[in-house]
Amino acid sequence: GHRCFTEELVGKQEFEFNYGAAPGYAQFVDVKVSDPHNTIVWTSVGKDRAQWKTRIEVGGEYAFCFYSRLVPGTSYQDGMKRAVYFELSNSGNSADDYVKLASQKQLKPLEVNLRIMEDAVRAVHTEYVYLKERESAMRDTSEHMFNRAMWLAFLVMFIIVGFSLWQIRHVKSHFKK
């Protein structure tokens, strides 16, 4: 069987994906990650644990699919279920990076904390810009659909008025006879 999870990811940011599967007799776990255009961007075949770090350039809804398969020649039996744990995190700024930065540039703790805050603000700003772009696209779609519905309503009203006038004319001609 398989199970897929989706997550909305912001573009131009680094992410880290970790997963681990509970032990299972004669079972493998395959993982496929696909981008918003359904292109597979990462796979893991037959591993119980894996880690993937990448920079996401295109924001959107990413799918994380886990596939459970048996060793060829093994038949499924009750109790052959496995739990899979996974974590997706924004790995743009890890603590190790700041420790290295502090030692390389001989920064004081206050300066390191300022860098951490600056990076956090930058990440919030990037997400804000992304959400603003999404809101704009959704607004454009909404306005387009509104215009279509409005013209359809005018067409229906024109048809109803036309049919009513025809019906009135037909009824008048019927009573004149």
Tell me, what's the pLDDT at 101? 80
* Alpha-carbon distance values, 42 to 23, 38, 39, 64, 69 (Å): 23, 12, 9, 9, 18
Nearest in space to 109 (alpha carbons), one of 118, 123, 98, 93: 98
Q: Rounded to whole angstroms, how far apart are CA atoms 40 and 101?
A: 34
pLDDT of residue 153: 97
Per-residue confidence (pLDDT) for residue 143, from 0 to 100: 97
pLDDT at res. 94: 59
What local confidence, expressed as pLDDT, does residue 116 receive?
84
Tokens standing for 153? 């309503």
List residues bridging with 28 in a β-sheet: 69
Phi, psi of 23 (to 5 degrees): -60, 145
- Reduced to 3 states (helix: H, G, I; strand: E, B; else coil), residue 131 is helix
In this prediction, residue 124 carries a pLDDT of: 87
> What pLDDT, on the 0 to 100 scale, is given for residue 147?
97
Q: Give the per-residue pLDDT at 149.
A: 97
Q: How far apart are CA 49 and CA 19, in angstroms?
A: 6
Q: What SS3 state is found at 20?
A: strand
Task: For residues 152 and 139, give the distance between their C-alpha atoms in angstroms, rounded to a whole number.
Answer: 20
What does the pLDDT look like over 72-93, one tens digit per residue?
888 877 777 888 899 998 765 5
Q: How far apart are CA 100 and CA 98, in angstroms?
A: 5
Ranges in the chain, pLDDT < 70: 91-96
